[in-house]
Amino acid sequence: MTLKKTFPKILWLIISSSIFFIILYFALFYYTKKAEKQVYNNSVEQFENEVNKLLEVNSKPILVAINNDTNWDEFVSFIKTKDAHWYNETIGNELNIYEADYLGAYDADKKFIIRTPTPKIKTLDFIPQQEMDLLDKKGINRFYMKIPEGFVEVTGAAIHPSNDPLKNKTPTSGYFFAVRLMDQQFLKNLEKLTSSEIQLMDSNQILPGEKNKIHSLFDLKDSEGRFVGALLFKRNFDVYFENTTNLLYVIIVAFFINLLVNLIYTRRLVYYPLDLVRRALETGNRKAIRELKKTTGEFSYIGNLFEENSNQKIELINAKIKAEESDRLKSSFLANLSHEIRTPMNAINGFTELIINTDVNETEKLEYLNVIEKSGKNLVSIIDDLIEMSKIDSNQIIPNYATVNLESCVNELYETIKITIKNKAIDFKLIKSNKPAEFNIITDDIKLKQVIINLLTNAIKFTDQGEVTFGYEIDEANELINFTVRDTGLGIDEDHHKNIFDRFKRVDSDISVKVGGLGLGLAISKAYVELLGGTISLSSKVGEGSVFYFSIPLKYAKVEHIVVKQVNTIETNKSEEQVILIAEDDNINFLLFQKMMQNTNFKIIRAINGREAVDICLNNPNIDLVLMDIKMPLMDGFEALEQILPMRPTLPIIAQTAYSSSDDKLKIEEAGFTDYITKPLNRERLFELIDKYLYKEKRHET
């Protein structure tokens, strides 16, 4: 009887326990599916937001560039004059800046004027008129369309004068479009940017139901908002729940084992993991998630799921912070750039207007002209830094190694800089090395000098009084040359040390604002040092000054003997007056040369292009010196030099160029030019070169 009474109870216990575990199973199944759906939806939403944000970032440089160009008075003038030469020299060279495959301009009547394509796009004129009608209202717009070459992304803007930045006060002067072909290279770059697979579709399709992937569909719409295609983004989604259907068998077996062995295990195998799940769901407790991952069975998968979800949220937050920081830096840099350019331009325009429109005496006029000259040099320095940083970013800078006398190099820098700071109360010293370089070294002396000049300029800029020193030491054991630049200036707060070499970042202070600059000098220096295979660092305290250290590899150029060959003097029949040929196509630049030389006895001859310069040199033996512009129509300065040198090997030919980077200067020297002078022209430098080469033979003869 007892057994009979007990058996139904045991049977009922088994049945009730089974029902309980079945209910538990479905509860777990429900929570698992719910968590799976939540994570999947969160992943899809995050992926879509990330794709949209990255597409916006990808197109932002074009929007900034096209907005700048279409708010340009010279562009407005071009629409009226349709001067193809101006367009090709300015806008037509900006394909790399826009990272575009096609640039096109239209006049106010929406008629095609000119285009600049890459070989990828053959179609001549394909911009719809309704897009230009839309630009009359919006000012700037981006849309997509399909041309014979494929899908293209088109960014267009209405052209207005610079005094109408809102593009709504004056009638539209014309239209300008930048086009990118969405070819395989475009998609490949976009895949790299978004870390996903991309498929270009030309019709509305239902998203494929791939088990282990998440999708985002970005519609491509034309200027009227109509669907023309779509970009399908796919990314792996590695959270699986395939074992969920097998959980019932595990639970049933576990039930009988727990029932027969020890009911205490119920707490450890069921209650505790469920409590971890609850805590993870309610509070996102990371400790609970870690413990959940350590459990067995489906709970471990749930732990992985929660951890993946948590990591994705953190990544999303970090991506958002990074994007906001990037936008802030870009906005700060653009504002700083605008300020730094407008400051010297304001001085140039303001003092020029005073000289022209007011009655000033000679003393005031000289003072104003000195301000204009200084502002012009500041403006050129800003532009040079921007160009150099752009070349560094695009990997166009390579070291040009040569044999360098290190001791002469640092002495030359010391003497040059010492002259420029004679009006400052600074004790400027060159610290002699205890062990100078035993032989000449192999390095890029131009980039080495630029690094030292940047660091010294920075030290002098932030030191009103005190001491600035620099020098080097040879480390034979580690095969390094260690340079040190030390100052007793303001110093740098330790919080800023980690960002001091980042581009576009300056230490915010009253002195920084006063001395100006874009904050590119130290970034360029760091890039050059690393290009030479070295490292750079600093040590600084506020109020005590700063010390910058950098090292480059020590490579000796050991030579036994240098043979200097004698140069044979060539007798030439010189005319009574010295004849200078100026090859310059720009009338204003030629006028500047004339004004600079108007009080001399030189006879000036002009060539307006490279071909004419060659003819004059070959047909006129009385030419004593040539000032050759690098960029000219019909034939540039390099081509003209190649034709003149074989016939007139002793004729001094000085390049005049607007290019100022070290690589451009090296290219000019390697081409065979006697020397070079950069624009803007410096009168003292011009006459120094003329005196050096025009009277070279005369001094040799005497």
Q: Tell me whether residue 630 is exposed, middle or buried, using C-beta atoms within 10 angstroms of its C-beta: 0 to 12, 13 to 18, 19 or more.
A: buried
Written as one letter, the residue type at 212 is N
Taking residues 300-322, what's their average pLDDT?
A: 77
pLDDT given for residue 176 in this prediction: 92
CA angle 83, 89, 94 (to 5 degrees): 115
Q: At what angle do helices 445-461 and 406-420 cross, to 10 degrees?
A: 30
Residue predicted with more confidence, 325 or 368 = 368
Looking at CATH, the fold of the domain delimited by 579-701 is given as: Rossmann fold (3.40.50)
CA Rg value for the chain: 36
Residues in the chain: 702
CA 266 vs CA 12, 254, 260, 271, 274: distances in Å: 19, 9, 11, 7, 11
Average pLDDT over residues 478-495: 86
Q: Which own/partner contact pairs does 573-576 have at CB distance under 8 Å and 24+ positions apart?
A: 573/621, 573/622, 574/622, 574/624, 575/603, 575/622, 575/624
pLDDT band at 598 (very low <50, low <70, confident <90, very high): confident
Query: Model confidence over 449-466: pLDDT tens digits?
Result: 888 888 888 888 888 888
pLDDT for 28 beyond 50:
yes
pLDDT, residue 580, reads: 92
- On the 0-12 / 13-18 / 19+ scale of CB atoms within 10 A, 292 is buried
Q: Is the pLDDT of residue 124 over 80?
A: yes
Helix, strand, coil proportions of the chain in percent (round to 5)? 50, 20, 30
For residue 510, pLDDT over 60 is answered with no
Q: Per-residue confidence at 575, pLDDT binned at 50, 70, 90? A: very low
Question: Does the structure show a pLDDT above 50 at 63?
Answer: yes
Strand 480-487's sheet: what is its strand order? 425-431, 465-475, 480-487, 545-553, 535-541
Closest by CA to 539, choosing from 508, 494, 490, is 494
Is the distance from CB of 488 to CB of 480 less than 8 angstroms?
A: no
Banded model confidence at residue 515, pLDDT cuts 50, 70, 90: very low
Q: Highest mean pLDDT: which of 143-147, 307-311, 514-518?
A: 143-147
- Token pair, residue 374, equals 């200084």
The strand order across the sheet containing 112-117 reads 112-117, 102-107, 174-181, 150-159, 140-147
On the question of pLDDT at 292 being above 90, the answer is no
Work out the angle at residue 519's Cα, subtended by the Cα atoms of residues 516 and 523, and round it to the nearest 5 degrees: 155
User: In sequence order, what are the residues at sequence separation of 6 or more whose Cβ sits closer than 8 angstroms to the Cβ of residue 149?
Assistant: 120, 121, 122, 123, 181, 183
Among 112-116, 198-202, 272-276, 427-431, the minimum mean pLDDT is found in 272-276
How far apart CA 317 and CA 307 sit, in angstroms, is 15
CA distance 661 to 388: 7
Decide if 215 contacts 43 (C-beta within 8 A).
Answer: no
Distance from the first to the final alpha carbon of the chain: 142
Contact 385, 453 (CB under 8 A): no
Model confidence at 505: pLDDT above 60: no
CA distance 137 to 167: 9
Structure confidence by residue, pLDDT tens digits, 203-250:
766 666 666 788 888 888 888 888 888 888 888 876 555 555 555 556
Considering only residues 32 and 698, tell me which one the structure prediction assigns the higher pLDDT: 32
Phi/psi-derived region of residue 491, left when phi > 0, alpha when psi is between -120 and 50, beta in every other case: left
Nearest CA-CA partner of 185 in 203, 168, 175, 198: 198
633 DSSP assignment: S
Query: Tokens standing for 447?
Result: 């980039």
The residue ranges of DSSP E strands in 488-615, in sequence order, are 535-541, 545-553, 556-557, 579-583, 603-607
Mean pLDDT of the chain: 77
Asked whether residue 564 carries a pLDDT value surpassing 70, the answer given is no
- What pLDDT, on a 0 to 100 scale, did the predictor assign at position 563? 39
Binned at pLDDT 50, 70 and 90, residue 254 comes out as: low
| CATH code of the domain made up of 62-236 | 3.30.450.20
For 364-379, the pLDDT digits (tens) are: 778 777 777 766 766 6
pTM comes to 0.39
Token digits for 498?
Answer: 């980690």
Report which of 443, 363, 356, 358 is spatially closest to residue 405, judged by C-alpha positions.
Answer: 443
The fraction of the chain above a pLDDT of 70, given in percent, is 72
Residue 420 pLDDT greater than 80, yes or no: no
**Which SS3 state, helix, strand or coil, does residue 695 take?**
coil
Interstrand relation of 653-657 and 675-678 (parallel, antiparallel or unpaired): parallel
Long-range contacts of the stretch 55-60 (C-beta < 8 A, 24+): 55/190, 55/218, 57/323, 57/326, 58/190, 58/193, 59/142, 59/153, 59/155
Q: What is the pLDDT of residue 386?
A: 63
Cα three-residue angle 627-632-638, rounded to 5 degrees = 65
Contact 658, 637 (CB under 8 A): no
Please give the average per-residue pLDDT across 28-42, as a whole number. 70
Can you say whether residue 509 is alpha, beta or left, with left for phi > 0 and alpha for psi between -120 and 50 degrees?
Answer: beta
Q: Which residues contact 198 (CB under 8 A, 6 or more apart)?
A: 187, 190, 191, 231, 232, 233, 234
Domain ranges of the chain: 62-236, 402-557, 579-701
Range 402-557 classified under CATH 3.30.565.10: yes
Count helices and strands in the chain by DSSP H and E runs: 22, 21
Angle between helices 2-70 and 272-283 (to 10 degrees): 30
pLDDT digits (tens, 9 = 90+) for 635-694: 999 999 999 998 898 999 999 887 656 667 778 888 899 988 887 777 888 888 888 888
Cβ count within 10 A of residue 669 = 13
Q: Report helix angle 445-461 to 662-671, nearest 10.
A: 140
Q: What is the mean pLDDT of residues 197-201?
A: 85
Amino acid 699: pLDDT? 41
| Cis peptide preceding 344, ω within 30 of 0 | no
Distance, in Å, from the CA atom of 173 to the CA atom of 78, rounded to the nearest integer, reads 10
Biggest alpha carbon–alpha carbon distance for the chain: 145
582 CB-side CA count, 13 A: 22
pLDDT at 6: 37
Structure confidence at residue 251 (pLDDT) = 59
Residue 393 has pLDDT above 80, yes or no: no
Tens digits of residue pLDDT in 647-663: 898 999 999 887 656 66
